[in-house]
């Protein structure tokens, strides 16, 4: 049971998890900081196992000697011993449980912090390839599963092994013939237990899949965006019917699982009863023949219960242990992910910069391969796998070959981008949707790294500077401004944690949002709601601008998203932008003609290339793509 097979427990047709020496060694390495507590726990396990062996011996003495001899003093002593044994055992269990909890919670803490730190160092590409639900699952459920492997699975395994060996040893000293009778049914016990356990595991796996589909649907339709979509299309009844169907499947599999579980316990109980019956039957016969005493049979019955309980735990121990290891495997997958935006050793710290920005023959290719996110590691016995939310079917792959003259779809996002921005200048980026404007801006704060070429600030390659100091010099407002579900003040202070209230209000005034905030009942303590949904688009955008103003960066990167706003919000944001960009190097994805006219340089991007560059009037005279965009997008301004 516990030999070489433990380390070669590989994927079988039944979908069992893999356990390797390397994985087991790494798990044990993670437990090393808690080796003192683990050693103490093992000592307590030995003491507890020793105590459990005493009660049957006391009962034998009570029946065979104390009562027949009518020894009152010995009777009192044994009765007190029977009381003290569970009391001491209970105390040892409390201490052991405290140690287990400290080990398990310590492992959770170590793993969770390591995971979160690793995720914070991952590039934007990783998050575009990975489901949020999968990350939450690994940070919560898989970390807890990993804790369970160390604090429960391993402890229970060791306890059962020690208890089984100790009980068998005592049984052999008491009566070797009855011990052999007890052992005869062990193969039957192991085979039946393992087969039923496999059946239960298969049902648990189906239950996991069904629950996963139901959970995915709830996650997709009950978040703010999904709920809004359902209401806009009037699909409430459709979603209720869909959920009813999935909840019904969960109900049915739950009933099946409960019935099989009871059947499992009944059959295991019957097998134990066979052994018990044999022991009492043969032992009773030997008692009648005066081969040994009644007390010996009673003690054997108690030991037999303990033995079969341990064997039940050991029969399926390899599967349970390997299943627990799956959580570690999933946790280690994230910890081992390579950083595709690495920070050089001894990287330069950017001090206050002038703001010169240069793109030097930059190419960028989105790598949409399977290594972008997390692998689809099966989570055994769990109900949190990420499945398709609505259809529940595998997504159908469609290959579309675009006509390049009429679409921005392509493999290379940016190709041979070269330009230079002097300190304090404003550069406007214009071009069709999907041309690569946003991708270009994402290279400036190193959300991505160029596939070829270099991006420089004040002549320094961004790959050579620390990420933290680069972030300090760059302020970015994206088209979809994100706000935390917290107060306005907290969202603004995210730019500068040590900013005073006066500085916060000054930034809000520059962004033309202070008067609006003060008009709210709670002012700066107003909670903005999930993703800021309690605020309008213009209000969120101005709060995002205020946040960047409070940061006071040298380089601004703005997606001037005003095209979908009302005229009042647009006017306020345009006014705020004028103040924000003064004295700063600014790269703006322009949506309004006013920004373009104020630009020191306009870069026209099409299919990942700069096809035109210059000022407004010069570009109009060229009668190229910019002139077409002007006629269709900007002329009405």
- The phi, psi pair for 610, rounded to 5°, reads -85, 110
Give the count of beta carbons closer than 10 Å to the beta carbon of residue 231: 10
* Token pair in block for residue 529: 């709601």
pLDDT of residue 403: 43
CA distances 345 to 137, 464, 466, 597, Å, are 32, 9, 9, 43
pLDDT number for residue 2: 39
Other beta carbons less than 10 A from residue 161's beta carbon: 18
Residue 465 is given by DSSP the state B
For residue 583, the tally of other CB atoms under 10 A from its CB is 10
Distance between CA atoms of residues 318 and 157, nearest Å: 9
Residue 390, pLDDT score: 62
Q: Are 410 and 583 in contact (CB under 8 A)?
A: no
- Closest-CA residue to 555 (of 531, 580, 537): 580
C-alpha 626 chain-centroid distance: 45
pTM over 0.75: no
| Of 479, 486, 470, 482, the residue nearest 551 (C-alpha) | 470
Residues (pLDDT < 50) of the chain are 1-16, 370-371, 376-387, 393-406, 564
pLDDT given for residue 504 in this prediction: 92
**pLDDT for res 13:** 41
Token pair 């390797």: residue: 20
Tokens of 153: 């699975």
Q: How many CB atoms lie within 10 A of CB 93?
A: 14
- Taking the C-alpha atoms of residue 460 and residue 448, their distance in angstroms, rounded to an integer, is 17
By CB neighbour count within 10 A (0-12 exposed, 13-18 middle, 19+ buried), where does 142 fall?
A: buried
Cα(11)–Cα(19) distance, integer angstroms: 9
Q: Which residue has the tokens 């930034």?
A: 507
**What is the predicted pLDDT for the residue at 226?**
78
Q: Which token pair is 325?
A: 């290891």
């Amino acid at each position: 049971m516990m030999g070489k097979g433990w380390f070669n427990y590989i994927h079988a047709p039944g979908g069992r998890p893999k356990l390797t020496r390397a994985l087991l060694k790494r798990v044990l390495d993670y437990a090393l900081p808690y080796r003192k507590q683990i050693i103490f726990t093992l000592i307590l396990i030995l003491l507890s196992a020793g105590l459990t062996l005493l009660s049957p011996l006391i009962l034998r003495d009570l029946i065979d000697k104390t009562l027949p001899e009518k020894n009152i003093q010995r009777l009192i002593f044994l009765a007190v011993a029977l009381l003290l044994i569970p009391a001491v055992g209970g105390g040892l269990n409390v201490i052991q449980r405290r140690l287990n909890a400290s080990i398990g919670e310590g492992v959770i803490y170590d793993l969770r912090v390591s995971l979160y730190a690793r995720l914070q160092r991952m590039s934007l590409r990783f998050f575009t390839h990975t489901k949020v639900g999968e990350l939450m699952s690994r940070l919560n459920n898989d970390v807890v599963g990993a804790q369970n492997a160390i604090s429960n699975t391993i402890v229970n395994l060791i306890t059962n092994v020690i208890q089984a060996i100790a009980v068998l040893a005592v049984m052999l000293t008491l009566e070797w013939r009855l011990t052999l009778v007890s052992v005869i049914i062990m193969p039957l016990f192991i085979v039946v237990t393992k087969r039923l356990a496999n059946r239960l595991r298969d049902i648990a796996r189906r239950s996991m899949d069904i629950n996963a589909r139901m959970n995915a649907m709830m996650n997709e339709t009950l978040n703010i965006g999904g709920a809004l979509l359902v209401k806009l299309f009037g699909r409430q009844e459709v979603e209720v019917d869909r959920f009813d169907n999935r909840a019904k499947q969960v109900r049915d599999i739950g009933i099946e699982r409960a019935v099989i579980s009871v059947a499992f316990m009944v059959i295991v109980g019957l097998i134990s009863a066979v052994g018990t019956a044999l022991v009492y039957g043969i032992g009773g016969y030997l008692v009648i023949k005066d081969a040994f005493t009644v007390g010996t049979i009673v003690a054997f019955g108690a030991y037999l219960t303990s033995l079969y309980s341990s064997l039940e735990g050991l029969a399926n121990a390899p599967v349970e242990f390997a299943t627990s290891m799956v959580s570690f495997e999933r946790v280690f997958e994230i910890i081992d992910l390579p950083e595709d935006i690495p920070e050089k050793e001894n990287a330069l710290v950017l001090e206050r910069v002038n703001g010169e920005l240069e793109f030097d023959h930059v190419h960028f290719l989105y790598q949409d391969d399977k290594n972008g996110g997390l692998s689809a590691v099966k989570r055994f016995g769990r109900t949190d796998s990420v499945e398709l939310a609505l259809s529940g079917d595998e997504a159908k792959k469609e290959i579309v070959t675009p006509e390049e003259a009429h679409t921005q779809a392509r493999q290379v996002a940016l190709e041979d981008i070269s330009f230079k921005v002097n300190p304090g200048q404003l550069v406007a980026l214009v071009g069709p949707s999907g041309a690569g404007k946003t991708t270009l801006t994402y290279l400036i704060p190193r959300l991505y790294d160029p596939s070829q070429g270099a991006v420089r600030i004040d002549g320094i390659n961004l790959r050579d500077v620390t990420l933290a100091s680069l972030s300090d010099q760059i302020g970015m407002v994206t088209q979809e401004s994100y706000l935390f579900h917290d107060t306005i003040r907290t969202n603004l202070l995210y730019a500068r944690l040590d900013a005073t209230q006066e500085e916060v209000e000054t930034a809000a005034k520059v962004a033309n949002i202070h008067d609006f905030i003060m008009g709210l009942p709670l002012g700066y303590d107003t909670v903005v709601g999930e993703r800021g949904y309690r605020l309008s688009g213009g209000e969120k955008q101005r709060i995002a601008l205020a946040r960047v103003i409070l940061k006071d960066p040298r380089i601004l990167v703005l997606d001037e998203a005003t095209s979908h706003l009302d005229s009042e919000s647009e006017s306020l944001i345009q006014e705020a932008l004028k103040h924000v960009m003064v004295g700063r190097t600014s790269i703006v994805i322009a949506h309004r003609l006013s920004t373009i006219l104020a630009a020191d340089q306009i870069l026209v991007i099409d299919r990942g290339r700069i096809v035109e560059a210059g000022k407004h009037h010069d570009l109009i005279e060229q009668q190229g793509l910019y002139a077409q965009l002007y006629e269709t997008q900007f002329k009405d301004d």
